Amino acid sequence: MQEGQGSYFYSQKNQIFVGEWVEDTPKTGVYSEVEDPTSKRPEREKHFTEPYMLPPLKPIELQNPTEVL
């Protein structure tokens, strides 16, 4: 039974979990994908390839700037 801090490698998913285990269950931690330079990975569909353009904003001006001072 896994208890406390540790890590576990999931070979089917090619991921590693590093974190806290409670009663053989991962509770808090980080899953990371393990890089394997020898494996071939399928090309994924690319998203958000167009540059994002901010919409125009109206200028902000004080109505009575001398009263602010």
Q: In this predicted structure, what is the pLDDT of residue 19?
A: 93
Q: Which token pair is 68?
A: 């602010």
Q: In this predicted structure, what is the pLDDT of residue 29?
A: 92
Q: Is the dihedral of CA 29, 31, 37, 39 positive or negative?
A: positive
Give the burial string for 30-60 (b: 16+ CB within 10 Å, else e).
eeeeeeeeeeeeeeeeeeeeeeeeeeeeeee
- Residue keyed to tokens 């991962």: 26
Full pLDDT tens readout for the chain, 69 residues:
888 999 888 888 888 899 998 998 888 999 888 877 777 777 888 888 888 888 999 988 888 888 877
**All structural domains of the chain with their residue ranges:** 1-35
Single pTM value for the model = 0.47
Q: In this predicted structure, what is the pLDDT of residue 56?
A: 92
Q: In this predicted structure, what is the pLDDT of residue 24?
A: 86
